[in-house]
Structure 1
Amino acid sequence: MNDFDNNDDQPPSKSQLKRDADAQQALGEQLVDLSDGKLAKIPVDEALLDAIRLAQRIRNTREGFRRQLQLIGKMMRDRDTTEIEQALSEIEHSHHEQNALFHQLEKHRDLILAEGDPAIQGFIDAYPDADRQKLRQLYRQALKQQQQNKPPAAARELFKYLRQVASA
């Protein structure tokens, strides 16, 4: 057995180092694209946070922004990024859950507007804290507005109420 068969003793190749650096820079770019609220949920140190905020401010300067992203990528290489990656994954997962809930509530609203009381009962079965009287009232208002060719203010109000009940 010769020494080249065991890859554990050899340093990473130049190509692998380049791929790792590109991955760290892409992770840094994801951080720059986050809103302030989401960025606050990410465990980053003060120096990295300052670099990210600077990149967000100079986004419109092409060359300066590119260099700042490279600096963030370099800073990321010096850190353990597992916690950052995990926090980004959780943010993305919660975003998908919120979208799914939003679409589900849209379906409930459309069903209530189409079927009335049976669909209201179905929503109450799914969310027992819902107020049947309020749902019926909003349903009747939405129908009345629809028949009078008015803007669907009650249908929007119905959706807001459904979202309020589902998030409680």
Structure 2
Amino acid sequence: MRGRDEETGEFHDKSRKQKRNDALEVLALGEKLVSLTPAQLARLPVPEDLLPHIAECKRITAHIAHKRQLAFLAKHMRREEDATLDAIRDALDANSETGRREVAMMHRAEDWREKLMVDGDGALSKLLDEYPQADRQQLRTLVRNAQAERAKNKPPRAYREIFQVLRTLMLPAALGLAGTDADESEDALEGSTDEAQD
């Protein structure tokens, strides 16, 4: 029984419902950790003693056994300090925000590529207004080659290359890396793409 403070009338401990909700939140966090790739997991501040339990939970695929192992992982997680679990949650939120920005940037690059294919020099001028560091001649050549490929029903090599050029161009702004050079930002995206594929 929780008991009350005689002077203030407040409960000494959390209610049973609150304890259950907290336990379910920890269980949900455990499920997220189990679903991550090893590379993504390595970037989180997960205590070393939890890693074997996470690995074991990933290994077990039978439904009931997996559920039991997940509950066992959550039990160990509840023994951790609240600050540790909050740090893991914050790191997960930061990773998902970066992922959302990357996806938005990729959609933007695809939109620009289509505009370039349809409108040619008009779209290129607008792109250069927004991204003055872009190489006009390179993009113009790629667009012309992509249009020729499309007309001749050839594999879309130049079309794909336009996307790569646009992605490299837009990456620093998408990741909030203004002032970084293209090679560094390309490395940053490749790292996050590799993790997404793991």
Report the Cα distance in structure 2 between the residues aligned to 1:101 and 1:123, rounded to whole angstroms. Answer: 14
Identify unmatched segments of 5+ residues in structure 2.
172-181, 183-198
2:167 is the counterpart of 1:163 = yes
Match for residue 52 of structure 2? 50
Match for residue 148 of structure 1? 152
Report the Cα distance in structure 1 between the residues aligned to 2:148 and 2:115, rounded to whole angstroms. Answer: 16
What SS class does the counterpart of residue 25 from structure 1 fall into?
helix
Match for residue 22 of structure 1? 24
Alpha-carbon offset, residue 145 of structure 1:
1.1
Identify unmatched segments of 5+ residues in structure 1.
none
Counterparts of residues 1-168 of structure 1 (less than 5 Å): 6-7=9-10, 9-58=11-60, 60-79=61-80, 80=82, 81-167=85-171, 168=182
Match for residue 193 of structure 2? none
1:61-120, CA deviations, whole angstroms, 9 ceiling, x for partnerless residues? Answer: 223211211011112211221101100100111111111111111111111111011211
1:30-63, CA deviations, whole angstroms, 9 ceiling, x for partnerless residues? Answer: 01111122111110111111211221122x2223
Report the Cα distance in structure 2 between the residues aligned to 1:105 and 1:5, rounded to whole angstroms. Answer: 61
Considering only aligned residues, what root-mean-square deviation do their CA atoms show, in Å? 1.8
Alpha-carbon offset, residue 125 of structure 1:
2.2
How many residues were matched structurally?
165
Q: TM-score, normalised by structure 2?
A: 0.77
Report the Cα distance in structure 1 between the residues aligned to 2:143 and 2:94, rounded to whole angstroms. Answer: 36
Report the Cα distance in structure 2 between the residues aligned to 1:160 and 1:35, rounded to whole angstroms. Answer: 25
Report the Cα distance in structure 2 between the residues aligned to 1:54 and 1:98, rounded to whole angstroms. Answer: 31
| Misfit runs of 4+, over 6 Å | none
Name the stretch that deviates more: 135-144 or 47-56: 47-56
Report the Cα distance in structure 2 between the residues aligned to 1:130 and 1:14, rounded to whole angstroms. Answer: 60
Percent same amino acid among aligned pairs?
37
